[in-house]
Chains A and B, each alone.
Chain A
Amino acid sequence: MIGPVSTALAPDLAPPTTPGGRGGGTVRHLATKLGGAVVSLLMVIVLGFFLFRVLPGDPVKTITRGAPVGPQQLAALRHELGLDKPIAAQFVDYLAQLARGDLGESYQFRVPVSTLIGERIGPTVLLVGVATALAILVGLWLGTRAAWRRGSRFDRISTGVALLLWSAPTFWLGLVLLTVTGNLFPSQGLINPNTPAGFLPQTLDLLHHLTLPCLTLVAVLYAQYLLVMRSSLLEEMNADYLVTAKAKGLRDDLVRRRHAVPNAMLPTVTLIFLNLGLVVSGAVTVETVFSWPGLGLLTYQALQGPDLPLLQGLFVVLAGAVLVMNLIAELLYQVIDPRVRAT
């Protein structure tokens, strides 16, 4: 879930070390990373099958929970869903479907799961993207100030507030914001159907709807950036090259902006991607509170059934997306940190 503070709120973000110092090191390193990611993706696919087909025992019972259904209907439903075949055959069917990009049909909406996910992915990417960008900006800025004036009142207050916001459950923060702002912001949806057509009014209405969900997500996310930036900069501040920079007579402000901050920012790049799991959790709860029509709200709706094919599809897509993003982060790190590349 959300990582603990010192070990995971500010996790061990040391640059990944490359084994071997020979010429083929980089290629081998890449191959290892790619291989690991492929194995992880396969594990997600197997886990998806295991969780939703094997673990429930009889998925039909889960679907019809509480409803009066006769044995004949149960058998018919089982046949329709292919659940009367042996587990191995079901697994082969599942793999064949996945290979075709077919995630099955939702019980609730009676449309293919892939269509549903395709429709809902846009709003989630918008919400999560804007919130992450804002959280990084706020976190890095506050973290830099806090570290530069370590132990000052600004440091203590900003770190304290960040920890407090991080401690509160996301959905509760959203509800409180909703109650406090009253009718100032719309409480649900993406856009008001009565908004006049045209680019400007539509965009403004979208931003109006985006404000509260985005604020809630930022409040929870920025603490980690603040703490990581703070500790990373504190470590950097003991470095010899900063003493040199100061000795050259550079202004304090320039030493910070040109020399210390760029180096201290490296660990936060990994954090952006490590945080994706947290971002997904945040999206589920925030979208539920604000009825933001994205993948998070879809997860909540799938829970009500429970709509097992939809949940399975969401699980595979969300977990797969996080894994792929992580791979990108590791590769990106190679490019931006020369120390990793050199080995």
Chain B
Amino acid sequence: MSTPSPTAIAWQRRRAAVGRVWQEFLSDRGGLFGLAALSLIVALAVFAPLLSDASGLDPTHATGRPLEAPSGHFLLGTDNLGRSVLLQVWWGARISLLVGVLATLVSVGIGTLVGVAAAHFGGWTSAVLMRFTDFFLVLPSLVLAIALSTVLNRGIFAIVLAVGVTSWPSTARLVRAQTLAVESRPYIERAWALGAGHVHVIIRHVLPAVAALVFANTTLTVANSIIAESTLSFLGLGDPNAASWGEMLNAALGSGAVTYGAWWYLLPPGLAIALVVLAFMLAGRALETVLNPRLRER
């Protein structure tokens, strides 16, 4: 029998580690609930075109009367244009999740870059970058996001950018702390001694070591991005043609449906946001507890 190659051993260890994390994650009831809820919602959002008929979203094809209360035909009633609220919430999940995930990618990307650079290069680079991070950390981000989405061309892209650019500092600080911890280990010194460059150390050693925590942090960031997106859309900065949950609530208030007392138009989008945010948060928190030994005792 031949001895397994170093790569094979590394992969075997990685698989074992993932298995351990999974086992611990399973013991967290909140995290499990979050994961189950998320899987269901994402599946429903992705397969919406196969399971439902999008033509019901077009006001010209609306079949109901305006603001019909929930009934057997329209389970969640209709909006001010006679469209099914259930169908809109269902399709709204696609926009809300998409914007949330894209904004998170921007945010986590910037945060990881700044955090790794600050910890790896140290000295002046670190001082300047961390000053910058602390500045953005205390800046009232909604005001900055409002400013950004006002001056950019309105639409999904502006919202993704506005949310992403304002929410990265906590990731940057987390990544910096983790990178500092990793770089003080002897195996990094060994790599330096063997002649490794910055790129090699960062890509082969630092990034894999911080990836797990970044992933847990990403899950939490999505929750924030979705709330931020809904707030900006509610304030009228979103794209009216891409009906996210925030956009629906904006329409519900703007059309007078809330004053009319159409609770079936007000409650579902808000509950959907709360459910998704809670699910992301519980899953992320469970993951973070498993991955971050400092939190495990609590």
Residues of A whose CB lies within 8 Å of any CB of B are 1-8, 11-12, 36, 39-40, 43-44, 51-52, 55-56, 62, 163-164, 167-173, 175-176, 178-179, 231, 234-235, 274, 276-277, 280-281, 284-285, 288, 299-300, 303-304, 306, 308, 311, 314-315, 318-319, 322-323, 326
Contact A8 B170 (CB under 8 A): yes
Residues of B whose CB lies within 8 Å of any CB of A are 131, 134-135, 138-148, 150-152, 163, 166-167, 170, 173-174, 217, 220-221, 223-225, 227-228, 230-231, 234-237, 246, 249, 253, 258, 261, 263, 266-267, 269-270, 273-275, 277-278, 281-282, 284-285, 288-289, 292, 295, 298
B248 to chain A, nearest CB (A): 11
Which residue of chain B is the closest to A59 with respect to CB atoms?
Answer: B151
B197 to chain A, nearest CB (A): 31
Which residue of chain B is the closest to A234 with respect to CB atoms?
Answer: B298
Contact A169 B246 (CB under 8 A): yes
A32 to chain B, nearest CB (A): 11
Bound-complex Cα distance A139 to B144 (A): 28
B165 to chain A, nearest CB (A): 11
Contact A7 B150 (CB under 8 A): no
Chain B residues in 8 Å Cβ range of A51:
144, 147-148, 151
Contact A319 B170 (CB under 8 A): no
Main SS class of interface, B = helix
Which residue of chain A is the closest to B177 with respect to CB atoms?
Answer: A12
Chain B residues in 8 Å Cβ range of A308:
150
Contact B273 A7 (CB under 8 A): no
Contact B147 A285 (CB under 8 A): no
Chain B residues in 8 Å Cβ range of A175:
249, 253, 258, 266, 270
Bound-complex Cα distance A7 to B223 (A): 13
Chain B residues in 8 Å Cβ range of A62:
150-151
Which residue of chain A is the closest to B145 with respect to CB atoms?
Answer: A1
B214 to chain A, nearest CB (A): 11
Which residue of chain B is the closest to A231 with respect to CB atoms?
Answer: B298
Partner of A6, one of B143, B270, B295: B295
Contact A164 B146 (CB under 8 A): no
Bound-complex Cα distance A205 to B115 (A): 51
Contacts A/B (CB < 8 Å), 6 sampled: A39-B131, A51-B147, A172-B273, A172-B274, A281-B140, A281-B143
B206 to chain A, nearest CB (A): 19
| Contact A167/B223 with A231-B298, A285-B234 known, Cβ cut-off 8 Å | yes
Contact A2 B139 (CB under 8 A): no
Main SS class of interface, A = helix
**Seed contacts A40-B134, A163-B282, A231-B298; 9 additional CB < 8 Å A-B pairs:** A12-B173, A40-B135, A171-B231, A179-B263, A277-B139, A277-B140, A308-B150, A319-B144, A322-B138
Chain B residues in 8 Å Cβ range of A285:
142, 231, 234-235
Partner of B146, one of A6, A167, A299: A299
Contact A281 B142 (CB under 8 A): yes
Partner of A55, one of B151, B170, B285: B151
Contact A280 B217 (CB under 8 A): no
Chain B residues in 8 Å Cβ range of A173:
270
Contact A164 B278 (CB under 8 A): yes
Contact B167 A1 (CB under 8 A): yes
Partner of B143, one of A274, A306, A318: A318
Bound-complex Cα distance A169 to B223 (A): 11
Bound-complex Cα distance A39 to B134 (A): 11
A287 to chain B, nearest CB (A): 11
Bound-complex Cα distance A35 to B112 (A): 27
Chain A residues in 8 Å Cβ range of B145:
1
Chain A residues in 8 Å Cβ range of B220:
4-8
Chain A residues in 8 Å Cβ range of B253:
175
Chain B residues in 8 Å Cβ range of A276:
138, 140
Chain B residues in 8 Å Cβ range of A311:
146-147, 150
Contact A176 B281 (CB under 8 A): no
Chain B residues in 8 Å Cβ range of A322:
138-140
Bound-complex Cα distance A118 to B285 (A): 42
Contact B266 A284 (CB under 8 A): no
Most buried by B among A6, A43, A277, A319: A6
Bound-complex Cα distance A40 to B138 (A): 10
B275 to chain A, nearest CB (A): 8
Contact B285 A6 (CB under 8 A): yes
A259 to chain B, nearest CB (A): 20
Contact A7 B170 (CB under 8 A): yes
B60 to chain A, nearest CB (A): 24
Contact B266 A179 (CB under 8 A): yes
Chain A residues in 8 Å Cβ range of B140:
276-277, 280-281, 318-319, 322
B203 to chain A, nearest CB (A): 25
Chain A residues in 8 Å Cβ range of B269:
172
Chain B residues in 8 Å Cβ range of A300:
235
Which residue of chain B is the closest to A8 with respect to CB atoms?
Answer: B170
| Contact A326/B148 with A3-B224, A6-B288, A315-B143 known, Cβ cut-off 8 Å | no
